[in-house]
Amino acid sequence: AHLQYMKGWKIPLTEIQVGNLTKDEVNTLLSDVMNESFPRSKSLSNVVYRKTCGNALLVKQLIMTLWNEGLLVFSFHDRIWRWNIKLIESKGIPDDAAGLMAK
């Protein structure tokens, strides 16, 4: 609806279709951002992919939710990111876009 409204402004607009990330792309993204090896980030990326279906906006939102809720923390002492998949799974984080965006 908002895009249709903007088209009425008679200014040049470019629409870009962005597809979902694959499971491997989510793993690559997380391992790069967190400076982790692929095998170590795989458990987290699997959960992130399953809950977001690779939607880039939802991937970002879920990572922020995990961080805000203390489920994804950086250890300054060890200089690594830490997470507990069982704890993440038990927290009842939504598996849908509306639920994630509401967080």
pLDDT digit string, tens, across residues 4-43: 777 778 888 888 888 999 999 999 999 999 998 888 899 9
Q: Please tell me the predicted confidence (pLDDT) of residue 23.
A: 97
Q: Is the dihedral of CA 29, 35, 37, 40 positive or negative?
A: negative
Question: What single-letter amino acid sits at 14?
Answer: T
What is the overall mean pLDDT for the chain? Answer: 89
Single out the residue of 39, 34, 40 nearest to residue 73, CA to CA. Answer: 34
Q: Please tell me the predicted confidence (pLDDT) of residue 6.
A: 79
* Its pTM surpasses 0.85: no
Q: Please tell me the predicted confidence (pLDDT) of residue 96.
A: 67
Does the pLDDT at position 103 exceed 80? Answer: no
Does the pLDDT at position 76 exceed 90? Answer: yes
Q: Please tell me the predicted confidence (pLDDT) of residue 14.
A: 82
Question: What single-letter amino acid sits at 51?
Answer: K
Q: Which residue has the higher pLDDT, 62 or 6?
A: 62
Task: Output phi, psi for 62, to 5 deg.
Answer: -65, -45
Helices 38-52 and 23-33: crossing angle, nearest 10°? 120
Q: Please tell me the predicted confidence (pLDDT) of residue 5.
A: 79
